[in-house]
Structure 1
Amino acid sequence: MLLITIIFMIMLVVYIGITIFYIHHKIINLRSYAEKAYANIDVLLLKRAELVPQLLVLDQRESAQMKELMNALLIQQSINSKVEVHNKMHDLLKNCAVINNGHQQLMHLNAGIAHRVTIYNESVLLYNSCFKAFPYSYFMKILNLLPMAALREFS
């Protein structure tokens, strides 16, 4: 009888130890997922912050060159000079393709940011739900963890 009681106590201690490890591991993983999602948002925002000024400069250059070429086309009288202006416009249209590619990259980055914000908010929701669920709420207090704030949806 004593042997059965000792075996039962050992199994109970092992079970409680495994449960504590599992709960701790789950809480830390949920917090880690939310932090990784936030870091992904930060990376995409930095990429967008680098891309936007470049696009602005290219847009300004293109519009200035287009105005200059249109004025030159209106002023030119000879056919040869008009052909030169049209050739320059053709080159400018190639630059427009580069700008359009940059705008597509910007739209892709914005979609990625919106997707990552959704992932972050879902991760935060799962993490914050641990503050209300037994026995996770006790571990949150023991580990002195605070709830995380969700981000507003990005559109």
Structure 2
Amino acid sequence: MAGVVEIIFITILALILIILFVTIIIIYNNLIRLRNNIDKSWANIDVLLKQRSNEIPNLINTVKGYMKHEKQTLESLTKARSMILETEKLSRKAAVDNLITDLLKTVFAVAEDYPDLKAVENFLKLQQRITGLENELADRREFYNDSVTIYNIRIESIPDLIVAKMIHLKSVDLFKATAEDKKYIQVNF
């Protein structure tokens, strides 16, 4: 009788260990999948930032002959473009991205005062292309921040917290500019 109890005990213990092991593997795989979603969504944002940056010189070349009084805005846009291509830090990139978005809005708003410019087909195409990229960027930023939020909640919740600590996963920052980064990229008009 004692032998049967030992076998049952060992079997139950083995099943518990197997269930625990499988649970850890499932949690690990889910956390890695979430982390990969963040990396992928950041890569998508980065691609769009580069595409938008590639359009800025074309826009500046198209408008500079018409917007002679807006030279400071165009120079600021050129500087901001260089900064976003050189910056690696996420929060700083977000701050520069916000600046570029604001500068592009300024250029497009000022362009309304130049009827000859509004008639240039190349300008209209660039405006549509950049506006489309801005809309895509907004969508991708939202998806990135959603992915980060889901990931951060999971690694801070039990039982995922235990596995996250075992494999040294850390929380990820949202795509937003810090006050320090905003100050760093401030461009005077």
Q: TM-score, normalised by structure 1?
A: 0.71
CA distance in 2, matches of 1:10, 1:146: 32
**Aligned-pair CA distance for 1:140:** 1.8
Kept in 1: contact 2:31–2:155 (CA 8 A): no
- State whether structure 2 residue 131 is matched by structure 1 residue 107: yes
CA distance in 2, matches of 1:20, 1:133: 14
CA distance in 2, matches of 1:121, 1:152: 9
Structure 2 gaps, min length 5: 68-115, 178-189
CA distance in 2, matches of 1:40, 1:3: 55
Match of residue 29 from structure 1: 33
Match of residue 39 from structure 1: 43
Aligned residues between the structures: 124
Match of residue 13 from structure 1: 17
Match of residue 57 from structure 1: 61
Structure 1 gaps, min length 5: 65-91
TM-align CA RMSD: 2.3
- The structure whose Rg is larger is 1
- State whether structure 2 residue 101 is matched by structure 1 residue 97: no
Q: Which amino acid aligns with 2:23?
A: T
Runs of 4+ with deviation above 6 angstroms? none
Q: Percent identity?
A: 27
CA distance in 1, matches of 2:176, 2:169: 22
1:75-105 CA distance string (max 9 Å, x none)? xxxxxxxxxxxxxxxxx99x82232111101
